[in-house]
Amino acid sequence: MAAADNLQKPSAAPFAIPGLGRALISAGKVSQQAAEAAVKKAATSRTPFITELSQSGEISALEIAETISTMFSTPLLDLNAIDSQQLPRELLDPKISTTYRVLALTKRGNRITVATADPTQQEAAEQIKFTTQLLVDWVVVEADKLQKLIDQTGKSVSESLDSYSNSGDFDFDDVKIEDTPEEKDNIGADVEDAPVVKFLHKMLLDAFNMRASDLHFEPYEHNYRVRFRVDGELREIASPPIAIKDKLASRIKVISRLDISEKRIPQDGRMKLKVGPDRVIDFRVSTLPTLFGEKIVIRILDPSSAKMGIEALGYEPEEKERLLKAIKRPYGMILVTGPTGSGKTVSLYTCLNLLNQPGVNIATAEDPSEINMPGVNQVNVNEKAGLTFAAALKSFLRQDPDIIMVGEIRDLETADISIKAAQTGHLVLSTLHTNDAPTTLTRMRNMGIAPFNIASSVILITAQRLARRLCPQCKEPADIPHEALLEAGYNEDELDGSWTSYKPVGCPACNNGYKGRVGIYQVMPISEEMQRIILRDGSALEIAAQSKAEGVRSLRASGLHKVKLGQTSLEEVLAVTNE
């Protein structure tokens, strides 16, 4: 009977000894009583069994690791030989590391090497395999060292983010990104992680305060960086832990109404940041799958930029007069050209703001609409749904418009409908990606538009660039050789000593000697002589020569004039224009 009682004692115990404990008992490394005590204490304090066993004095963590390595034929590793900064933290979700007390070491092919103090954790192996789609190779390590490294890894992420979020005076009560009720239902703990949310808000607000145009969140193999484009130049602002890349991407996707589960294709969305009780900033979001995660670019859309007036854009008096004369015409086509980020949209909306009157019907088609303007009927192009620029234009013509703005002329069909609208009593404003005004006409010809249609519809073309403006507080006179000024494009008559060129210096109030940007414009009205050149299918060189004869400055000449006025430097003009 006594023997029977003895056999029943283990199964009658309130806490069962795990397989690892039974293996250590079988090897004679620990006693039954010590294992049971460790199991009870671990259940009460909610700590790992191995931790309690190593702290009991019965056996050390090193002895446990050596025994397990031998019994299960698993490699033994000393974590003191590992550089914690070089660990690939992006391989494994931090929650899995904390829950199962494991740590990813390396990845090779379709296998992942994971450090553990207990290789019998079948559930942990299955979870890692499911989330990473990799086969697990265990490496045995000492439990105390493993726990310490896991704690350090977890803290480094939150502490690092907090250091960014809490730097400077920043009141998070005044900053809020509002989620719709449907989005709130889909937000999990991963995207509501407080340090990540604070970090994102901090970056968005800092970018706005620094007058940045774009934010770039870029994941690489061993690091993660955040850059702002300030005055046209990218500057690295922060280098947070790479472990946050997925949580940060998820948070941005949720508030931008993107598919949080889709990481294989690019996505586009929008979001709003509320700063204070009556100030809201719009952002356009673009995601792009890269080798090491999703790169996210956020563009700041400031609605006030379209209402600041044409004087603030930097047009010279004669250029402004030409543009205002063209937009007051009852019909015809006005084209604004330049590369991405040259301010074309702001120029178009500045014109629309001048034309936006109660008695005028204005419709725009964009991809997407960047600036919200009350009184203007704005349409977002959606090619997947069949709402192309051409389809939107056809609908506009049935809506009795006076003025039509097309975000970009990309193909012959859109160009053809735009020209017909300009020929039938509508003022059409649009953009093209060309280098200067004269080449815009030949570009339209190459698209397949007949010379007659170009000559009879286009009334003005504006090419533009944005150059960094010299800081008025620290700029200094530049000593530029006479030959260099001639080579840049100045005439001998202009180098009469009546003006001074300046160079950037740098001070606390600016960015390396520059503060803000100034527009460089080539405003070319289409004269009768230019129409004749177009009708006989003349080249861009002929049109450029004619425009020069009519007093139209080229982009380079316009930039050189800004240098004479002391608004920008010669180096900046040479960098953004061709001669």
Give pLDDT, residue 304: 63
For 180, the 3-state DSSP assignment is coil
Give residue 269's pLDDT. 86
* Token pair of 83 as six digits: 């550089």
Name the H helices within 13-93.
Answer: 19-26, 32-45, 49-55, 61-71
Which is nearest to 401 in space by CA: 444, 356, 368, 367?
356
What angle, rounded to 10 degrees, do the helices at 437-446 and 540-549 form? Answer: 150
| Bridge partners (DSSP) listed for residue 115 | 103, 139
- Residue 102, C-beta contacts closer than 8 angstroms, at least 6 positions apart: 92, 96, 114, 115, 116, 121, 124, 128
Superfamily of 19-156 according to CATH: Type II secretion system, protein E, N-terminal domain (3.30.300.160)
Query: Are 286 and 266 spatial neighbours (Cβ–Cβ below 8 Å)?
Result: yes
Question: Quick check: 286 and 300 in contact, CB under 8 A?
Answer: no
pLDDT at 410: 85
At residue 225, what is the residue type? R
The half-sphere exposure of 118 on its side-chain side, counting CA atoms within 13 A, is 22
Sign of the four-CA dihedral 44, 48, 51, 57: positive
What is the spatial distance between Cα 430 and Cα 475, in angstroms, rounded to a whole number?
Answer: 37
| Contacts of residue 288, Cβ cutoff 8 Å, sequence gap at least 6 | 266, 294, 295, 296, 297
Report residue 568 as tokens: 């920008």
Its sign, for the CA torsion 557, 562, 566, 571, is negative
577 vs 40: CA distance, rounded Å:
76
User: What is the rounded CA–CA span in Å between residue 153 and residue 243?
Assistant: 9
Most distant CA pair in the chain, distance: 121
Name the residue with tokens 């007036």: 309
Residue 266 near residue 249, CB atoms below 8 Å: no
Residues 248-292: tens digit of each pLDDT = 999 899 888 899 888 899 998 888 877 666 667 788 899 999 999
Structural contact between residues 296 and 285, judged by C-beta atoms closer than 8 angstroms: yes
Domain 211-301 has CATH 3.90.550.10: no
Q: Give pLDDT, residue 156.
A: 52
- Which parts of the chain sit beneath pLDDT 50? 1-14, 168-176, 178-191
As a CATH number, domain 305-466+519-552 is 3.40.50.300
Do 19-156 and 305-466+519-552 have matching folds?
no
Do residues 12 and 36 make contact, with C-beta atoms less than 8 angstroms apart? Answer: no
The CA–CA distances, whole Å, from 466 to 79, 168, 315, 559 equal: 54, 31, 12, 10
- What does the alpha-carbon distance between residue 310 and residue 498 come to, in Å, rounded to a whole number? 28
Provide the 8-state DSSP code for 17. Answer: P
Beta bridge pairs of residue 365: 379, 406
The ranges assigned to domains in the chain are: 19-156, 211-301, 305-466+519-552
CA distances from 222 to 218, 243, 263, 547 (A): 11, 10, 20, 53
Helix (H) or strand (E) holding 87: none
**Tokens standing for 275?**
């700063």
Instruction: List the structure tokens of 522.
Output: 């080539």
By C-alpha distance, which of 537, 531, 577 is closest to 558? 577
Residue 58's pLDDT is 73
CA distance 579 to 67: 77
Packed helices 540-549 and 528-535: angle between N→C axes, nearest 10 degrees: 170
